[in-house]
């Protein structure tokens, strides 16, 4: 009889341990997938301005895949940051958003190693500029 009680107690203990390991931690950080590889400071070389400048990509706290790009297209650090979504090695600008002094932007980039190769358009209402840029991680 003692053996049956011991085996039953061990069985109940094993089930309890197994089930307690399956609960979700409510304070756990959401999985950001590949977004983290895009975050940080980047040096930019851009074709249309022929300038070099720096941008910072930071996580959007309201989205598991969203990011903000400060100084996108060299609009200045006080300008509204561009918003984008990350999917795998792609980063896609939210369509038709307006940044800087009324620039409507569209486009995407692809991460390869420590570089993001971008193709995007800037529309100031009078001109549509096709830009190519390379971001290099600092």
Q: What is the pLDDT of residue 33?
A: 55
Alpha-helix residue ranges (DSSP H) falling in the chain = 2-20
Q: The domain spanning residue 54 has which CATH number? A: 2.40.128
| Short-list 120, 88, 87, 86, CA closest to 104 | 120
Q: What is the pLDDT of residues 75-114, one digit of tens each?
A: 998 999 999 999 999 999 999 899 999 999 999 999 999 9
C-alpha–C-alpha distance, residues 58 and 82, integer Å = 11
Tell me which of 13-22, 26-35, 36-45, 70-79 is least confident: 13-22
Assigned domain for 65 exists: yes
| Domain-embedded: residue 8 | no
> Residue 63 sits in which domain range?
35-137
The count of structural domains within the chain is: 1
CA-based max dimension of the chain: 90
Q: Is residue 92 part of a domain?
A: yes
How many beta carbons lie within 10 A of that of residue 85, not counting itself?
17
């Amino acid at each position: 009889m003692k053996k049956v009680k011991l085996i039953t107690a061990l069985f109940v203990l094993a089930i309890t341990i197994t089930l307690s390991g399956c609960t979700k931690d409510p304070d756990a950080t959401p999985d950001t997938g590949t977004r983290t590889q895009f975050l940080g400071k980047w040096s930019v070389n851009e074709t249309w301005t022929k300038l070099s400048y720096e941008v910072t990509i930071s996580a959007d706290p309201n989205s598991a895949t969203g990011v903000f790009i400060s100084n996108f297209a060299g609009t200045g650090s006080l300008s509204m940051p561009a918003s984008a979504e990350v999917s795998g090695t792609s980063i896609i600008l939210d369509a038709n958003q307006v940044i800087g002094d009324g620039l409507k932007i569209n486009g995407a980039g692809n991460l390869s190693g420590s570089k993001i190769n971008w193709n995007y358009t800037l529309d100031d209402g009078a001109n549509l500029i096709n830009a190519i840029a390379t971001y290099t991680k600092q």
